[in-house]
Structure 1
Amino acid sequence: MRAAEGFTGRANSTLTCGDPGVPIPEALRAVQAFARDHGIKPTAHVVNGSSPEAAVEAAGWRVDLDHPGGAESLVMTGPLEKFAEGVAESRDLPGWWELTAGSEVTAAQRHVLGSGGNVCFASLTVEGTVIAAVRGAVVEDVLHVARLAVRPSHRRQGLARRLMGELAGWGLEQGATTCALQVAEHNEPAIRLYEELGCSEHHRYRYWIPAVS
């Protein structure tokens, strides 16, 4: 069970992975109680086709079609050596946070993006302005990629590809061999980019919420 003041779906949902040790309806009631205690929407992070999925639906939950990030996301993975080029420098710049998290950065946002292993805040700048940013975290031999963003004024210039290449180079230096990332199913340009970098779909997941709040 995860709560972070509403910042990101994954950090504010309960991962349904394996047997909870109690009947699913009881486990989902615990999810709702946890959400109430933390002031967030009760949400279950469910892998498509997993054993809990049918039980979650049978308990009266539904897919959150109004989720800000989209109803369904892909988890993609790929070897870093295929697209590594250069080595990113980790720089905790105000512009990095403004581009990836917004102008008012909260303690929860800093915790979510700053924790989870060996973290890199990679960016590209022009005259002191961050124009592209991405976050990477190495856990064991996997580079987890998140928050890739390019300013609208600088898109379609290959900056996302360049930044991913530099982040992959950083990941290799930290002992990672594989990357893992999440992308909304409707974000076709991002999916195409990751496919061109050698990534492929590993699985999909959706967020489920109670049908009656």
Structure 2
Amino acid sequence: MLNAASFTYRRATPADLLTICELAQQLHSLHHEARPDIYAPATAEFARDQALWLPSLDPKNEATQAAFLAQRGNLAVGFVTAVVLPQNNPILQPLTVCRIGSIVVLEAHRGCGVGGGLMRLAESWGAGLGATDFRLNVWKFNEPASRLYEDLGYEVRAFELGKRLGG
């Protein structure tokens, strides 16, 4: 039986770009299935997504952006991306925010602690850069992810509403 001890975690490098593109197809499938009006379908030509994930892997951005991989042996089973930014807005309290960009765990490895492990790694990284507030967005249809975030102490702070105009 798989458990949290079955996995290792590390910071992703540019050499992991295509692996992340491939893993992300599960996320794309989920989003496209629920919101085909917004999301493109997953593709076997997953290299199309390189520009999306490269900034989190680029050594020039390593002080503010990161991606972390979860592995079982040599098999990548999930990843998370994060960015740390100071909040410079005169009407808000000064603080440094770590925003979780995306998190993916292969379906066969969900429920084994991988998502929580990736989130804790991203939180530790962000805290090491001075972040004191952690934020993310999750679609209403993604109830398993919402439960994970709630279990990790995240709270609903805002709702984003949307409306399509025209055809």
Normalising TM by the smaller chain, what interval?
Answer: 0.5 to 0.7
The residue aligned with 1:104 is: 47
The 8 Å contact of residues 88 and 167 in structure 1, kept in 2 or not, is answered as: no
* Aligned-partner residue type, residue 91 of structure 1: T
Q: Highest CA radius of gyration, 1 or 2?
A: 1
Gaps of 5+ in 2: 1-8, 26-41, 87-95
Question: RCO higher in 1 or 2 (8 Å CA, sep ≥ 6)?
Answer: 1
Q: Residues 70 and 77 of structure 2 are in contact (CA less than 8 Å); yes or no, is this contact kept in structure 1?
A: yes
Conserved? CA contact 2:80–2:101, under 8 Å:
yes
Contact 2:56–2:66 (Cα < 8 Å) also in 1: no
Gaps of 5+ in 1: 1-86
Change (3 A) 1:90 1:171: farther
What pairs up with 1:113-152 in 2 under 5 angstroms?
Answer: 118-140=64-86, 141-152=96-107
Letter in 2 for 1:155: R
Contact 2:10 2:70 in 1 (8 A): no
In the alignment, the residues of structure 2 paired with residue 112 and residue 123 of structure 1 have an alpha-carbon distance, to the nearest angstrom, of 15
TM-score of the superposed pair, with normalisation by structure 1: 0.52
Equivalent pair of 2:23/2:106 in contact (CA under 8 Å): yes
2:143 matched to 1:200?
A: no
Which position in structure 2 is the counterpart of 1:157? 112
- After superposition, the C-alpha distances for 1:10-54 in whole angstroms (9 at most, x for unaligned) are xxxxxxxxxxxxxxxxxxxxxxxxxxxxxxxxxxxxxxxxxxxxx
* TM-score, structure 2 normalization: 0.65
**Count of aligned pairs:** 126
Identity %: 23
Q: Residues of 2 paired with 1:121 and 1:136: CA distance?
A: 6
Contact 2:20 2:53 in 1 (8 A): no
Contact 1:136 1:146 (8 Å CA) reproduced: yes
User: Distance in 2 between the 1:112 and 1:90 partners?
Assistant: 12
- Secondary structure at the aligned position of 1:183 is classed as coil
Contact between 1:88 and 1:170, CA under 8 Å: does it hold in 2? no
